[in-house]
Chain A
Amino acid sequence: MESAAVSSHDSTIQEIGFERTLYPYVMGTSVLGMKYKDGVLLAADLGGSYGSTLRYKSVERIKPIGKHSLLGASGEISDFQEILRYLDELILYDNMWDDGNSLGPKEVHNYLNRLMYNRRNKFNPLWNSLVLGGVKNGQKYLGMVGMIGTHFEDNHVATGFGNHLARPILRDEWNEDMSFEEAVKLLEKCLRVLLYRDRSSINKFQIAKITEEGVTIFPPYSLKTFWGFSAFKNPTKGAEGSW
């Protein structure tokens, strides 16, 4: 598909003969998000896969945006870094107004939606699924934007494999008034399932919470897993071989 469009926003000129996004290279896997009593929780692992190699193991995929929001991303890590740059400038200009107002999660979500949709229309998408959570003036907000510009708001969201493995658990067990501890337990349950079943996840997670008071991104930690199944104990039983 040929395209001859000039983007004034990100100063890349797309012309016939220039490259556009074809494939992602370094990818992050699922991000989970859910509202709880005091705010919003986001969780993601710290892995960056290069194809089937788990190449980077300390990639922070959840970052605070301004005073009121948290952004988590799965998909191409370099595109996520580029999005963070755009948002950094957005928040800087917002702060420079110094008028007592600040961009809330709803506004940032809309901005990201515009960004992703416009890139998609130029056949040069930012290859990410973004989760945007935040609290402003007591209102909790949790939304998602995909790489083709699909966006929605919900009480719990997940990207990538999380959509298939985590959301059913969240649908069954999420309720409006979960305390922080309950919410973390539920998230860990989902994260454990993802760890067992998603080959591009690693056992090093970060949970981030945002409340009216502010953002806290907890240090990375690991979940306990159980591999002591009888079927695993003697893997070559019934099929002796050289390995």
Chain B
Amino acid sequence: MSSIGTGYDLSVTTFSPDGRVFQIEYAAKAVDNSGTVIGIKCKDGIVMGVEKLISSKMMLAGSNRRIHSVHRHSGMAVAGLAADGRQIITRAKSEATSYERVYGEPIPVKELAERVAGYVHLCTLYWWLRPFGCGVLLGGYDRDGPQLYMIEPSGVSYRYFGAAIGKGRQAAKTDIEKLKLSELTCREGVIEVAKIIYAVHDEAKDKAFELEMSWVCDESNRQHQKVPDDLLEEAKAAAKAALEEMDAD
């Protein structure tokens, strides 16, 4: 569903007659064209997964990280323009450390989400800045338990049980809704996220992809870290097996 806002889409400081800011909507399109990013809140933590589309066979496996730790207890997965994402992550790290310097405790995830959202929103208010072309999933574990937030290019931030952005988000959201998140542990969640990413990956349009996953849960001591290699391999194997089962029908 594309609508061209001829004349009202030249600047982010212009509203269209029907009350839309087209530049922000175009920025969201940049996110929609990137590889799928999924996050789910399980009963004991958050699991995030990224479908990293490999643009060149020359790229080293494990490079081009899409999920970054923002503090000990939280991490961000980025979809959209990678350089824009880097800027947001740097800002989030800086907000998190400055909060800890002042208040002596790790930044509550809600506070971090609000600060990052405020920053993203800032860049939609001035004509000399362009909106960020990336959406971010922020998963963290603080005193109030595990929390998952999504921040869009418009600066909007909501808290989710399960969220997906990028190419395969529609299909991914359907699959996430089928899961009983309140009963899943993070171990099981990792397998489910892998299955969903493999399922929504479009073999026809995009060739190879690399799966990157992270979690923050009781098992990881409430620290945000990459999913351990053995569990990651297990998840990949289970996902591939599930795909073959589907293809077999």
A89-B97 contact given A96-B70, A98-B69, CB 8 Å threshold: yes
**Is there an interface contact between B226 and A92, defined as CB atoms closer than 8 Å?**
no
**Is there an interface contact between B225 and A98, defined as CB atoms closer than 8 Å?**
yes
B195 part of interface (Cβ distance < 8 Å): no
**Is there an interface contact between B97 and A92, defined as CB atoms closer than 8 Å?**
yes
Residues of the B chain whose Cβ atoms lie less than 8 Å from the Cβ of A85:
101
Using an 8 Å CB-CB cutoff, how does the interface string of B80-116 with A read, 1 for contact, 0 for none? 0000000000000100010001000000000000000
Binding site for B on A (CB under 8 A): 85, 89, 92-93, 95-96, 98
Residues of the B chain whose Cβ atoms lie less than 8 Å from the Cβ of A98:
65, 68-69, 225-226
Task: Give the contact-size bracket for chain B.
Answer: 10 to 19
Binding site for A on B (CB under 8 A): 65, 68-72, 93, 97, 101, 225-226
**Is there an interface contact between B72 and A92, defined as CB atoms closer than 8 Å?**
yes
Residues of the A chain whose Cβ atoms lie less than 8 Å from the Cβ of B69:
95-96, 98
Complex CA distance for A98 and B70, rounded to whole angstroms: 11
Nearest Cβ on chain B to A66's Cβ, whole angstroms: 13
Complex CA distance for A238 and B93, rounded to whole angstroms: 72
Residues of the A chain whose Cβ atoms lie less than 8 Å from the Cβ of B70:
96
Residues of the A chain whose Cβ atoms lie less than 8 Å from the Cβ of B97:
89, 92
Chain A: CB-nearest residue to B214: A98
Residues of the A chain whose Cβ atoms lie less than 8 Å from the Cβ of B226:
98
Complex CA distance for A96 and B68, rounded to whole angstroms: 7
Residues of the A chain whose Cβ atoms lie less than 8 Å from the Cβ of B101:
85, 89
Residues of the A chain whose Cβ atoms lie less than 8 Å from the Cβ of B68:
96, 98
Complex CA distance for A93 and B71, rounded to whole angstroms: 8
Residues of the B chain whose Cβ atoms lie less than 8 Å from the Cβ of A93:
93
Residues of the A chain whose Cβ atoms lie less than 8 Å from the Cβ of B65:
98
Nearest Cβ on chain A to B19's Cβ, whole angstroms: 40
